[in-house]
Amino acid sequence: MGAATPRMRETFVRVAMYYSNRDVRLEEMPTPSPGPGEVLLRIMASGICGSDVLEWYRIRTAPRVLGHEVGGVIAEVGPGAGARQPDASGWQPGDRAFVTHHVPCNTCHYCLAGHHTACETLHRTNFDPGGFAEYVRVPALNVERGMLRLPEEVSFEEATFIEPLACVLRGQRLARLEPGQTVAVLGSGISGALHIKLAVASGAGRILATDVSEYRLGRAREFGADVPLPATEDVAGRLRQLTGGRLADLVIVCAGALSASRQALSLVERGGKVLYFAVPEPGVELPLPIADLWRNEVTLLTSYGGAPADLAQALEVIRSGRVTVADMITHRLPLAETGRGFQLVASAGESLKVIIDPQR
C-alpha cells in the first residue's frame, strides 16, 4: 500500500484487518463519523489481548478489525456527546480518554443482580471499527457508560491495561482473596502476571505461579511470585513444601489448556476456591471429582470481563501506582506490524504485553 495523500488521510483511516493469526493486513476504511452523543477517538495506543489471538473464536467473524484495549484523544464530538457526564463541560476535542468496547444496560435482571458481564447488551456493544485503527467511532452508550477521563499521570500505554486489569479486579473480588492466603496462578501470561501483581498488592501470603515458558516464569518472579514452576513439575508437592503441608487457598486458572483446568482441582486446599479466569474452547468438558469437592467444601468460580465500576477502579489502581503496568510492556509496534504482534502473542514466547501505536 502506498503512502496516503493528505486528502485520503482525511477520508480514510488505516486499520489492521484480521483474517487469521497469520494473516493481518494493513488496509484502509472510510473514516467513521460520530453521530448524536458519539465521539471520534484518535487511538494513541492499543494493546493486543490474549483473547485477540484465540483463532477458533475470532476467525468466525473474520475479516474484521480487532482491538479493545485502547487509550486516545477525542478528535471530534458528535451532537450531545457528554451531556450525561458529571462534568458539565462534557467531552471536548483534545480530551484524553479510555473507552471500553463492551458496556452493560444497567437495567436488566443480570445487571440489577450485579452480574453486569452476563448482560446481553454488554455482549452486543462494541466500537467502530476496532482498536487496531487510527480512529474509532465510540457509540453513545459507550460514551455514556464506558468512557473515562485519563489523568495526565496515566500514559496512553498504561491506559491499555485498564480493561484487562478491570477483569482481574473483578475476578479476585468475586473470589474474595484475603490477606495472608496462599494463591496459585496457573499461566503466567499477561492475565496471570496481573493476577500476581494484584495478589501481591492485596496482601497474599504466598504466591506460586506456573507456565510452560521459562521466560514468563522469570517475569512472574519479578512481579512477585514466590515460587515460579514449570507446569509439568510436581506443583502440588512444591505447594505443600511452601505451606507446611497445605495446598492453595485460591487457585486462579489463567491458561486455556484443559490440563490447567484439571490441575487446578488437585491444587486447591479444603475450603478453598478455584477461579476459572480462562477456560478451554467450547465443547471441551472437564470431569469433576464432585464427591471430593463436596466433602472438602471447595468452591468453583468463573469470571468474565469487567463492569464499569471495575474499570473505574482499575484506572485508580494504575493512577495510584498500587499496581504498576508499564514494566509489563515488551514490544511497541507501529500499525503496519500488527501482524507481527499477533504472532508474538500467539506464540507465547518472549513477549508479555504488545502495544500497537496506530499513529506510526
Chain-centroid distance, C-alpha 251: 19
Would you state the pLDDT for residue 82? 57
Q: What is the mean pLDDT of the chain?
A: 94
Question: Which pLDDT score is estimated for 51?
Answer: 92
Q: How confident is the model over 221-243, as pLDDT tens digits?
A: 999 999 999 999 999 999 999 89
Question: Which cell goes with 57?
Answer: 473464536
Q: In sequence order, what are the residues at sequence separation of 6 or more whose Cβ sits closer than 8 angstroms to the Cβ of residue 320?
A: none
Task: Give residue-wise pLDDT tens across range 120-132.
Answer: 999 999 999 999 9
Q: What are phi and psi of 233, to 5 degrees?
A: -80, 180
Q: What is the pLDDT of residues 27-68, one digit of tens each?
A: 999 999 999 999 999 999 999 999 999 898 898 899 999 999
pTM value?
0.94
**pLDDT at position 145 over 90:** yes
Label residue 348 by pLDDT band (50, 70, 90). Answer: confident
Rounded distance, CA 119 to CA 106, Å?
8
* Beta-bridge partners for 165: none
Q: What is the pLDDT at residue 6?
A: 31
Residue given cell 444496560 in the structure block? 105
pLDDT at 259 over 80: yes
**Residue of 284 and 80 predicted with greater confidence:** 284
Q: If we measure between CA atoms, which residue out of 103, 95, 98 comes closest to residue 73?
A: 95
> For the chain, which domains are there?
6-161+325-357 (3.90.180.10), 166-302 (3.40.50.720)
What does the alpha-carbon distance between residue 344 and residue 321 come to, in Å, rounded to a whole number? 28
pLDDT at residue 358 is higher than 60 = yes
Task: Give 85-107 pLDDT, tens digit per residue.
Answer: 443 348 999 999 999 999 999 99
Give tens-digit pLDDT for 149-160.
999 999 999 999
What's the burial of 204, exposed, middle or buried (CB within 10 Å: 0-12/13-18/19+)? buried
- Of the chain, the percentage scoring pLDDT greater than 90 comes to 91
pLDDT confidence band for 10 (50 / 70 / 90): low
| End-to-end alpha carbon distance in the chain | 15
Residue of 263 and 9 predicted with greater confidence? 263
Burial of 193 (0-12, 13-18, 19+ CB in 10 A): buried
Burial (CB count <10 Å: 0-12, 13-18, 19+), residue 223: buried
* Cα-based distances in Å from 182 to 55, 171, 229: 34, 16, 15
Other Cβ atoms closer than 10 A to 150: 23
In this structure, of 53-57, 183-187, 282-286, the range with the lowest mean pLDDT score is 53-57
Q: Residue 16: which of 333, 348, 347 has the closest Cα?
A: 333
Task: Kindly list the distances between the CA atom of residue 177 and the CA atoms of 155, 181, 263, 270, 353, in Å, as whole numbers in the listed order.
Answer: 29, 7, 20, 15, 25
Give the number of other CB atoms < 10 A from CB of residue 286.
13
Q: Is the pLDDT of residue 7 over 60?
A: no
Mean pLDDT calculated for residue range 313-331: 98
DSSP-assigned letters across all residues of 165-229? HHHHHHHHHHHT--TT-EEEEE--SHHHHHHHHHHHHTT-SEEEEEES-HHHHHHHHHTT-SEEE
